[in-house]
Amino acid sequence: GDILFLRMSKEPIRTGEIVVFNVDGREIPIVHRVIKVHERQESAEVDILTKGDNNFEDDRLLYAHGELWLQQHHIMGRAVGYLPYVGWVTIVMTEKPIIKYLLIGALGLLVIMSKD
């Protein structure tokens, strides 16, 4: 239920950073920490391994079949800060759509009824 602030800069990915990545074939992005980086000499190509802080295993089982590492193009952004609990509003609205309609309806009524 927290909101995460993400940023993507051209800085190379380094261990410790919390990154957001998509695995081919999975729709929900994963937000985990980088624990291993192997960056090539000549190119900017990099092999990345991630792991959730509280998980026992690294994320290899989550990666696409046969893939041992993530590459730069899998990474969509880095987490730079967060606001706790604010995301609950979104979650409640997604799980019980009626609340979303009620909220929008109430706001709409307010707009209509205000004379300014």
Write out the residues near other proteins by the rule CB under 8 A.
14-18, 33, 35-41, 47, 53-54, 58, 79-84, 106, 109-110, 113-114
Q: Which is nearer to other proteins, 9 or 114 (CB)?
A: 114
Structure tokens at 44: 């900017």
How far CA 46 is from CA of 14, 41, 55, 75, 115, in Å, comes to 10, 10, 23, 11, 59
Q: Which is nearer to other proteins, 54 or 95 (CB)?
A: 54
Q: CB 27 → other proteins: shortest distance, Å?
A: 26
How far CA 26 is from CA of 22, 23, 76, in Å, comes to 7, 5, 14
Q: Which is nearer to other proteins, 65 or 115 (CB)?
A: 115
Q: CB 35 → other proteins: shortest distance, Å?
A: 4
In sequence order, the β-bridge partners of residue 77 are 20
By C-alpha distance, which of 61, 48, 57 is closest to 16?
48
Q: Which is nearer to other proteins, 66 or 81 (CB)?
A: 81
Q: CB 14 → other proteins: shortest distance, Å?
A: 6
